[in-house]
Chains A and B, each alone.
Chain A
Amino acid sequence: MFPPLPNPPVQPMPAKFGEQDLVRRSASNVAPPARQLTQMAKLIDTSKCIGCKACQAACLEWNDLREEVGFNHGVLDNPLDLTPSSLTVMRFSEWINPETQNLEWLIRKDGCMHCADPGCLKACPAPGAIVQYSNGIVDFDHDKCIGCGYCIKGCPFNIPRISKVDNKAYKCTLCSDRVAVGQGPACAKACPTQAIVFGTKEEMKQHAEDRIKDLKSRGFVNAGLYDPPGVGGTHVMYVLHHADKPEIYANLPKDPRISPIVEVWKGVTKYAGMVAIGAFAAVGFLHHLISGPNRVSDEDEQNAERLTGGGS
């Protein structure tokens, strides 16, 4: 069995990462951190997932969030979509495999992918409202969020949601509060079948290899890992039985990329002014130094260059 996540501590302990580990900060500049944290990742194995929604329950409970009691909409999904409280939801797809004519019930836990190249962060005009740590976690600082919703537009996976109560954007934090004390995310701890596991990104990739081998032995010849290069890879990855067709898993994008962000840049100009834009470009440069070549599309880069007067 994959090593279970440990029990959370109750004795006070210092946070294992924080402000000094930021590699990017929306609409602002950060100094390169003195150390590089190990890259962490969550691996979601759709072939082990039984759609029990333990991840949804654990997420609500740990984060002290509650979802309103809704309605049945003719499906088992509930709530139907992500909300400012439901930072993760299970999406159920009934798919008839054209090759075997067998029904396959494809169940995918949806939520923030913690992209290496976070479209949300790049689109965000509010300085410091979205940050990225060197362990891969992309987090929102709600005190700085201005509720403009550009993060949603910037996200290739359509994840953040704006709260009607406080007009701020919410999404999965990868349980940054738990990771900071040496724990894994609440969903991964709870997941009954270990369809969700958490560890270093390398460890997760290795574990995925084993899972893919097992799936291939069961006739899933296209089983594979979903770690899309279009966003620089992600810190939430999937094992898919049909990795050649991610779209059958409730429209998981086949080749996600940050959308052309011209409008976003205009928005940045409008709300945060040119200073922020300069900072943004600087973040991109820093990222280039720390993490190797930036994988934002050429088009995006050109837009950025044009708007910032050839900053980087």
Chain B
Amino acid sequence: MNMELSRRQFVKGASAGMVSTTLGALGFGGIEAALAASIRPYKLSGVTETRNTCTYCSVACGIIMYSKGDLAKGEQADIIHIEGDADHPTNRGTLCPKGAALLDMVHAQTRTKYPQIRKPGSDKFERVSWEVALDRIARLMKDDRDKNFIAKSADGVTVNRWLTTGFLAASATTNETAWATYKVVRSAGMLAFDNQARV
């Protein structure tokens, strides 16, 4: 979505009323001035804004991610700050201690960055290419499915189930990822399929 367009839309909405009081108080008659030495240079000048939703709980607070570089334009985009979106009806710009620190999740030192395989009995992961990892997964799946697939029950009913491999789906992926996952898992006949709804 075009950020500028959405911005204008909000100004027409309720948020215009919401922000007036404090902003008005901060207007100082248009006197322009250089920053004082004590004041830190404002860090968001000229950066790109992208609207997103907090990844943690189901309040689903609106957030704005500020990045150097614009991903939508195909550029390398480095997120430098994340803040609550004041236009969002639920959180009105606020964030909890988790949401206020989202930046540290995005840039966590312990993010996964490369496919890795740990061989049976080994004490370490070894970096592999995506090709190697994905080919291996497909092979393991097919071998297990072919060996253990139950096409018919003892009573001769077509049951087409595969019980020896299971899939635990996520809780923070999008609906679209969920649907793609559903298709792949169910078409393979898996029934040991679950998500985090219980925990």
A residues at B contact (CB < 8 Å): 1, 3-22, 35, 37-38, 40, 52-54, 56-58, 60-64, 128, 131, 133, 139-141, 143-144, 173, 176-182, 184, 186, 189-194, 198-200, 203
Contacts and interface: CB of A to CB of B under 8 A. Distances in A.
A53 B21 contact: no
Determine which residue in B29, B43, B46, B83 has the highest number of CB atoms from chain A within 10 A of its CB, and name it. B83
Contacts of A53: 97
A179 B37 contact: no
B144 interface: no
B81 interface: yes
Contacts of B47: 10
B56 to A, nearest CB: 12
Contacts of A128: 37
Interface string B28-53: 11011111111111111111110000
Contacts of B92: 1, 4
Nearest to A133: B36
Contacts of B21: 3, 199, 203
A141 B20 contact: no
A6 B33 contact: no
Interface string B61-84: 000101000000000000001111
Interface residue SS majority, chain A:
loop
Closest 5 CB pairs of A and B: A57-B100, A18-B33, A139-B38, A141-B38, A14-B32
B54 to A, nearest CB: 12
Determine which residue in B19, B46, B96, B100 has the highest number of CB atoms from chain A within 10 A of its CB, and name it. B100
Contacts of B41: 177
Nearest to A90: B97
A20 B33 contact: yes
B18 interface: yes
Nearest to B62: A7
Nearest to A1: B92
B35 A15 contact: yes
Contacts of A54: 94-97, 99-100
Determine which residue in B45, B97, B101 has the highest number of CB atoms from chain A within 10 A of its CB, and name it. B97
A15 B39 contact: yes
Contacts of B49: 10
B25 interface: yes
Contacts of B91: 192
A189 B25 contact: no
A164 B101 CA distance: 25
